[in-house]
Every structure is written in C-alpha cells, then in structure tokens.
C-alpha cells in the first residue's frame, strides 16, 4: 500500500519543519518540505499531497503578529488550494505558528474579509514567552488526528497562544459541536470544567483551549508541539520514569497516516 503523501509548508523563520517531517515519516508517511514561495509559484506541487502541515516556528519573525504575514500570503494566493484540501477528504494540521495561521486564514473558523475574526490567538496573559510541558484533555469524537486519544502531555513554546473569542457564546457552540479538540487541564483528573490556573493553562486561553478542529474534523490547529515528543527520550523525566518507547505526540501523526490506510 502506498504511503500517504505529506506536504510540510515552510517560510522564513519556520524552525520546526524538519522535526515535523521526521515525525510524519516515523509514522509511515512520505513527506516533503516546501517553501511558501515555491507553492505560490506552482500550486500544482500540492496536487498529490493528502496531508498539508503548517509547522511551528516564527514565520517572518512574527514581525507584525504571529503568523500574520504567512496567513496573508495564503489568503491572497493559496485560498483555492486550502479549500480543495477541505473538500477533497484530505487533512490539514497547523502546529503552534501553523495554528495561528489557520485561524487567520479562516480555514478553521470561517470569517468574512474585512470583518473581525470569530476567534484569534493573542499575547499570553503572563506577558512572556511560555516554554513548558502541559497536560491536555482531548475530545476525539470528531477530530481525525485525535482518534483514540483521551489525554496527552506535550510541550508548548509560544508568546501568542491565548485563544480568545469575539463572542463568549462561541465557546459553547464549539464545545457542543466537539470542535474544542484539546484543552489544558490539571492532572490527575484531567478535568476541563472549572478553573485551570496558570501555569497549567500557560497562556490564559478562554475555555482552556489548546487546540481546535473544524466542523469536518479533518483540520486541526493546536498550540502544543506533538513533534517534540515522539520518542521516550524527549520526555523531561525519561531517565527517572518507565515510559513507552514512543512519545505521546507520535499518535497524532499515526492517526493522520492511518486515515488513508
């Protein structure tokens, strides 16, 4: 059986593309990294890809805002390509900076040009860059990438990861449609109701949101970095705890590959 094909999109400042490529390949996919300018020049380079990944990093140095310039390029030049992925039973995942881009392009939550987005990712409430490991509870009832996953322990590294909505009612709407795919929580119960304080909620996100999927379940954006925990040696306590050989993040990439098997 042919391996699913993954396209990892990079831009100046992207710095997690190689790790993400490795994670997909370890999960069994055939993966290619491509620069945004190459894809704009020739969108047909994505024709054979079944999975599109926007990896983490600091695209264009976050000079205007996190992911803003890359999102603008995609909206202006590659909207048709992303829409084709959504309507062709393909998958899209955006990690950290990629999550920021997916929200600003309207791929995750539809918006209208010229109007404020339904939701965005803004500065952490702590006022500083957060680099730590967090506990996550998953809602896997809709999202392809989270099939069989109920909880995770992954690292985050961002300064603009606080999920906020334009209208408070949007959280209820997204929750009822199982689109709040990942939420920060407190162990051991991994509960998402009630207050999840800092640092368990590292950025102060509304509803403790760490990841969001679209209404098809085939597009996922998340702030934590699954590609940074695909091997037991990535865990901060790997020399002190008995751990499985595979890190918890690998399952996200395996689910994407298995979707096409």
pLDDT of residue 188: 82
pLDDT of residue 116: 61
The span from the CA of 147 to the CA of 104, in Å, is: 26
31: β partners: 6
Distances (CA, A) of 208 to 174, 192, 202: 13, 7, 9
Q: Is 235 a catalytic residue?
A: no
Question: No. of H helices and E strands in the chain?
Answer: 7, 11
pLDDT of residue 261: 85
pLDDT of residue 112: 56
- Classified as helix, coil or strand, 95 is strand
Cis before 199 (ω within 30): yes
The span from the CA of 182 to the CA of 68, in Å, is: 23
pLDDT of residue 110: 78
Q: Is 79 a catalytic residue?
A: no
pLDDT of residue 195: 84
Q: What is the pLDDT along the chain (261 residues), one digit of tens a residue?
A: 689 999 999 999 999 999 999 999 999 999 999 999 999 999 999 999 999 999 999 999 998 889 999 999 999 999 999 989 988 999 999 999 999 999 999 899 876 544 567 899 999 999 999 999 999 999 999 999 999 999 999 999 999 999 999 999 999 999 999 999 999 999 887 877 778 999 999 999 999 999 999 999 999 999 999 999 999 999 999 999 999 999 999 999 999 999 998
Angle at 77 between CA 99 and CA 56, to 5 degrees: 25
pLDDT of residue 20: 98
For residue 13, the tally of other CB atoms under 10 A from its CB is: 15
Q: Answer for the pair 212, 165: CB distance below 8 angstroms, yes or no.
A: no
Catalytic residue among 225, 234, 235, 254: 225
Catalytic residue among 96, 143, 185, 213: 96
The span from the CA of 137 to the CA of 114, in Å, is: 34
Contacts for 131 with CB less than 8 Å, ≥ 6 apart: 155, 156, 157
Question: Domain 5-258's class?
Answer: alpha beta
Catalytic residue among 130, 160, 227, 254: 227
Q: Is 213 a catalytic residue?
A: no
Domain residue spans of the chain: 5-258
């Amino acid at each position: 059986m042919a391996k699913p094909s993954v396209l990892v999109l990079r831009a100046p400042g992207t710095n997690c593309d190689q790790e993400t490529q490795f994670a997909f390949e370890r999960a069994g996919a055939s993966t290619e990294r491509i620069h945004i300018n190459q894809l704009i020049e020739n969108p047909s380079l994505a024709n054979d890809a079944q999975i599109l990944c926007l990896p983490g990093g600091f695209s264009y140095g976050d000079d205007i805002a996190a992911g803003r310039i890359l999102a603008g390029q995609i909206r202006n030049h590659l909207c048709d390509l992303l829409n084709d992925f959504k309507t062709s039973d393909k998958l899209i995942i955006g990690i950290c900076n990629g999550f920021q881009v997916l929200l600003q392009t309207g791929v995750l939550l539809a918006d209208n040009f010229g109007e404020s987005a339904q939701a965005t990712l803004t500065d952490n409430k702590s006022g500083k860059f957060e680099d730590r490991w967090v506990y996550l509870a998953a809602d896997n009832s809709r999202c392809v990438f989270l099939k069989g996953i109920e909880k995770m322990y992954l690292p985050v590294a961002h300064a603009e990861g606080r999920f906020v909505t334009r209208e408070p009612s949007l959280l209820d709407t997204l929750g009822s449609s199982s689109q709040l795919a990942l939420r920060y929580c407190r162990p051991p119960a991994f509960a998402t109701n009630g207050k999840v304080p800092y640092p368990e909620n590292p950025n102060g996100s509304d509803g403790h949101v760490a990841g969001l999927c679209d209404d098809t379940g085939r597009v996922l954006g998340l702030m934590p970095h699954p590609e940074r925990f695909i091997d037991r040696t990535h865990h901060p306590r790997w020399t002190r705890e008995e751990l499985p050989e595979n890190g918890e993040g690998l399952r996200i990439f395996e689910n994407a590959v298995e979707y096409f098997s």
